[in-house]
Amino acid sequence: MSALAAAFEHPLEDGWTLPASWYADRDVLDAERRRILAASWQYAGPAERAGALARRHASVATWGPFAFASGDPDPEPLETWLGDVPALLARSGLRLEALSFHSHYELELAANWKVALENYLECYHCPVAHPGFSRLIDVDPDAYGLVLGPTSASQIGPVRPSALAGGGAAPYDPRGEISQAQYHFLWPSTTINVDPGPQNLSIERWVPLGTARTIETGDYFFGADAADAIAELIAFGSQVAAEDAALVESVQRGLESGAVPQGRILPESEKLLADFQRRVRDALLG
């Protein structure tokens, strides 16, 4: 048995997480870069940069205003990789053709890339970690939808009626063409965020810089109807990102302490996270 496999005291299938050592081990990160990240589709920038990207990547393809790159010279078609995500996004009221590139952002986190994405993939932490967000979006497990696809994991969050009525203390006015929040993860490291309100979308990829250092690098896109709301929407996204940064950095410190070699997974609330961990394990040990 390999050293990586030996870290498993319990199988994922019995409701356990990946071993804590997998979030701090240089050999694990090297294997992830080689077997997962090097030859997969990832968001690479606005579509108008596709020509420049094609000089640096084996494969480049666009979908709407977005360009994606892969190190694989013969990747699966981009359309296959996107799966149901375009159809789900359309159902939110998002109109891809309405979007224009607005601005680039980067956020560096003192956490393993898997910690950052696992946090992205569950909203069990939302009521406590994101009070403003949770006044806007109904994060109750009975209302908050989780959808697993072959290469995607999506979260569909209804807007609270109190936020639409202008009452309560929602962080911004969510009325507009987009009627729900949608957060999509595309294996292995691309995420797409749409918030309720006028036409808005942010898309990012998560890149490991070390076992405990990750950079989230992404772009904001807005429609003309969002002109007066852009500052509020960006402030909202930045607030949630700052709350998540504090959370994932504390999770990373916990994992590195070695106090809990392997944790437990909540079967329903964390089913997207569990799927992500199975993919990582299968890529490294399969």
Q: Under the rule (CB under 5 A), what is the footprint of Fe ion? A: 244
Give the integer Cα–Cα distance in Å for 7 and 196: 42
DSSP notation for 1-33? --HHHHT-SS-GGGTEEEEGGGGT-HHHHHHHI
Strands 262-264 and 16-19 come out as antiparallel
Give the nearest distance from C-beta 249 to Fe ion in angstroms.
Answer: 13
Give the nearest distance from C-beta 171 to Fe ion in angstroms.
Answer: 14
Give the nearest distance from C-beta 265 to Fe ion in angstroms.
Answer: 17
Measured at the CA of 100, the angle between CA 136 and CA 52, to 5 degrees, comes to 125
| Total residues found in the chain within this entry | 286
Give the integer Cα–Cα distance in Å for 91 and 86: 9
Residue closer to Fe ion by CB (options 49, 125) is 125
Residue closer to Fe ion by CB (options 47, 203) is 203
178 and 198 Cβ atoms separated by less than 8 Å? yes
Give the nearest distance from C-beta 274 to Fe ion in angstroms.
Answer: 17
Give the nearest distance from C-beta 227 to Fe ion in angstroms.
Answer: 27
Residue closer to Fe ion by CB (options 148, 241) is 241
Bridge partners of residue 154, in order along the sequence: 147, 184
- The answer for residues whose C-beta is within 8 angstroms of residue 253's C-beta and 6 or more apart is none
Give the nearest distance from C-beta 204 to Fe ion in angstroms.
Answer: 14
Residue closer to Fe ion by CB (options 81, 183) is 183
- The identity of residue 91, as a single letter, is R
Residue closer to Fe ion by CB (options 127, 210) is 127
Task: Scan for tokens 């090097």, then name that residue.
Answer: 38
Q: Which residue is nearest to Fe ion (CB)?
A: 244
Residue 154: how many other CB atoms lie within 10 Å: 22
Residue closer to Fe ion by CB (options 138, 244) is 244
How far out from the chain centre does Cα 132 lie?
19
Residue closer to Fe ion by CB (options 244, 275) is 244
Tokens of 72: 């694989």
Give the nearest distance from C-beta 248 to Fe ion in angstroms.
Answer: 9
